[in-house]
Amino acid sequence: MKIKFLIKNLNIILSVIMILLCLAFLFIIDANNGSNKYLITIIEKSLVYAVVALSMNLVIGFTGLFSLGQAGFMAIGAYITAIFTIPIKFRESIYYVEGINADLATMTLPIPIAIILGGLVAAIIAAIIGIPILTLKSDYLAIATLGLSEIIRAVIASPMMNTITNGSYGLKRIPSFSGVLECFIYCGICILLMALVINSSYGRDFKAIREDEVAARAVGIDIFKAKEISFVISSFFAGVAGGLLAMFMRSIESRTFSVNLTYEILLIVVLGGIGSITGSIIGSFVVNIGKEALRVFDKPFTIFGFMVDWPIFREGFRMVIFSILLMVVVLFFKKGIMGGKEFTFDNIIKFFKKKGEKHE
């Protein structure tokens, strides 16, 4: 009986063991954060990008909406989190141009509340904007949401917002994570909640729309309502991810949330696998670790005792190599690393079983 129970729940048991091992690993590097600062930085950035990548995947991969407004909603979340969490004693020195709005000068919120508030404001704006733009299709929706992202960024940086967002001067002294474990918990909760949504009745509606909008309407799904819900939920978690990014960076400017950030998030989604939860997580770690690992090519280096000092090995060359490697990966994995599937131990066992059967 016990053996049958273990076999039936093998995937859950192994997943729990893997999570516990990850927590133990993070606890160890947190305890030695002085010597692991670089590693902690990479992990935290990868976790935050995993959240925003999954929020984009929710609309693109699971609902079939080509929305590119994530960077704008991240900016909303980041600025709201920063405004309400910067210690009061530093605010005067940060808002040195025109001063801070009197209503905000002494107003503070606990970090979790500020992050959620940032997500809620992003969701409310998405709900309002979604009414006109979600009637658009494919490329037109992408252009509209990309334009919306740039409008949000321009408003944040405009002089009329100087007393609220500090305009183009940005915000500093934002409280950071107490450790990588705190970041893991925040991001883990976000990913878990999105996974629950995707696997709920709403998620089934999203997938039905993605597969065939006409057939989904025929079976009674309210197409616009489902699209609106998907867009709002995605924007909420993008706003939350923006707050987490502000905590990671400790200082933000409007240009942080430019079109380049949108493209970077889209790269993670495509590389990991459109329509895959675990794909977004894996893609985030692959991209962020890959960029850091290739820093060696940004300057002359030594190999087997010989100094390689070619003119091409200069600042930025790593991105050329990184782009080439991405092209190679895409050629071999045309649907991304996960190809729309999920990383589960059941799938790993099935994969090796198939390989064994082929060899037989």
Q: Which residue has the higher pLDDT, 295 or 60?
A: 60
229-240 average pLDDT score: 96
Integer angstrom CA distances of residue 92 from 110, 172, 295, 341: 20, 11, 38, 50
Instruction: With cut-offs at 50, 70 and 90, classify the pLDDT of residue 184.
Output: very high
319 near 287, Cβ under 8 Å? no
Instruction: From the options 1.10.10, 3.30.70, 1.10.3470, 1.10.287, give the CATH code of 42-359.
Output: 1.10.3470
> For residues 319 and 69, which has the higher predicted lDDT (pLDDT)?
69
Residue with token string 């030594």: 302
Task: Please report the sign of the dihedral spanned by the C-alpha atoms of residue 340, residue 342, residue 348, residue 354.
Answer: negative
pLDDT of 183 above 90 = yes
Residue 174 has pLDDT above 90, yes or no: yes
pLDDT of residue 314: 61
Residues 6+ apart with CB under 8 A from 20: none
AA identity, residue 191:
I
Cβ atoms of 78 and 48 within 8 Å: the answer is: no
The whole-angstrom separation of Cα 282 and Cα 46 is 9
Mean pLDDT of 182-191: 94
Domain boundaries, the chain: 42-359
Task: Categorize the per-residue pLDDT at 313 as very low, low, confident or very high, splitting at 50, 70 and 90.
Answer: low
Whether 2 shows a pLDDT value over 60: the answer reads: no
Residue 261 CB neighbour total at 10 angstroms: 22
**pLDDT band (50, 70, 90) for residue 226:** very high
Name the token pair of 254.
């409007």
Q: Is the pLDDT of residue 339 over 90?
A: no
Percentage of the chain lying above the pLDDT 90 cut: 50
How many other C-beta atoms are found inside a 10 Å radius of the C-beta of residue 84?
19
**pLDDT score of 17:** 86
